[in-house]
Amino acid sequence: MIDLHMHTIVSDGTDTPEEIIARVREAGIGLFSVTDHDAVKGAKRILSVRTAEDPAFLTGVEFSCRDEEGKYHILGYGYDPDAEPIRRVVDLGHGYRMNKVKARLDFLSTQFGFQFPEKDLQALFALDNPGKPHIGNLMVKHGYAKTKEEAIRDYIDKLRFRSEYVRPEEAIEGILGSGGIPVLAHPVYGSGGQLILGDEMDKRLRRLTDFGLQGVEAFYSGFTAKLRAQMLAFAAQYGLYVTAGSDYHGSNKLVSLGDTGLGDPNEWPEGLKRFLTDVKA
């Protein structure tokens, strides 16, 4: 069994890198990758703590990208985590994210008068990946909202702004430049909330493969057989690698490790076999 898409506490998962290794082993997964949002720290950590008895591992990352045409999650596999190109993408994303957090905090302060102690703010900015949930938690802690969901819905989301994002070609170039393979995550769902099918998907893939995209995550815990079949057809049409991931987030999501929809290894598509041969462990 393989599972190439999961998150640790470095982004929005609930398992530490150490815990996730134990769980992967327990689940009987033979090859795994940790793909935290816009961060390579989780993957680096796994590299440094795993032992020879642990399941095989691929470095991974999931970049949130956006351009005029839409939003994308782009996975990178088998890259060198110390390479300059991928570090630049991570820093770029991190910088944008920090700007966004600052803009949100300013908004909450001027619009609603919500103030937070300096100590909490420092802890917030020290996070690798601070975002809406973290600000929401702070609001609950200080009595500005009853729940994190209420905080996001009634306050944080009242600010609508065009923030800066890593562009897909920047992510793809960073991954390729560091020896990795760029793969489009859960393609049908875009960045998570969309439904991209048929012609729209075709257009999207034509565009991203022009940038250097090399694979699609055709096996995904949230795909039905119909969606999977559609992605496999696209992979064959574009000659792309095929990958499989659950998008496990620990207790933050009801997905279990290894839930990818991938069946008997004898029936694995050619694109997946090729990926496993070509990717650098």
Using rule CB under 8 A, residue 219 touches another protein: no
Amino acid (1-letter code) at residue 275: F
Stretch that binds another protein, among 34-42, 102-110, 209-217, 224-232 (CB under 8 A): 224-232
Among 99, 115, 163, 194, binds another protein (CB under 8 A): 194
Which span (22-30, 47-55, 216-224, 266-274) binds another protein, by CB under 8 A?
216-224
CA neighbor of 111 nearest in space, from 158, 161, 145, 162: 158
- Residue 224 sits in the site that holds another protein (CB under 8 A): yes
Using alpha carbons, select from 188, 218, 220 the residue that is nearest to residue 204: 188
Does residue number 218 form part of the binding site for another protein (CB under 8 A)? Answer: no
Q: Which residues contact 193 (CB under 8 A, 6 or more apart)?
A: none
Task: CB nearer to another protein: give 11 or 221.
Answer: 221
Binding to another protein (CB under 8 A) within 134-193 occurs at 147, 149, 152-153, 157, 188-190, 192-193
State CA 206 to chain mean position distance: 22
Partners of 24 in beta bridges: none
What's the DSSP call for residue 255? P
Beta bridge partners of 166: 65
Which member of 113, 254, 264, 267 binds another protein (CB under 8 A)? 254
Structural tokens at position 257: 């490790």
Closest distance of CB 4 from another protein, Å: 18
For another protein, the closer of residues 43 and 156 by Cβ is 156
Kindly tell me which of 28 and 95 has the beta carbon lying closer to another protein.
28
User: Is residue 221 a contact residue for another protein (CB under 8 A)?
Assistant: yes
- How many Cβ atoms from other residues are within 10 Å of residue 242's Cβ? 26
Question: Which residue of 55, 177, 222, 269 would you call a contact of another protein, by CB under 8 A?
Answer: 222
Question: CA-to-CA distance for 125 and 148, rounded, in angstroms?
Answer: 18
The overall longest dimension of the chain from CA atoms, in Å, is 61
User: Are the beta carbons of 169 and 136 closer than 8 angstroms?
Assistant: no
Which residue's CB is nearer to another protein, number 193 or number 263?
A: 193
Alpha helices in 127-269 (DSSP H): 132-141, 148-154, 168-177, 198-211, 225-238
Q: Which of residues 184, 255, 257, 272 is near another protein by CB under 8 A?
A: 255
Question: Which CB, 251 or 266, lies closer to another protein?
Answer: 251
Instruction: Give the interface with another protein as residue ranges (CB under 8 A).
Output: 147, 149, 152-153, 157, 188-190, 192-195, 197, 221-222, 224-227, 252-255, 259
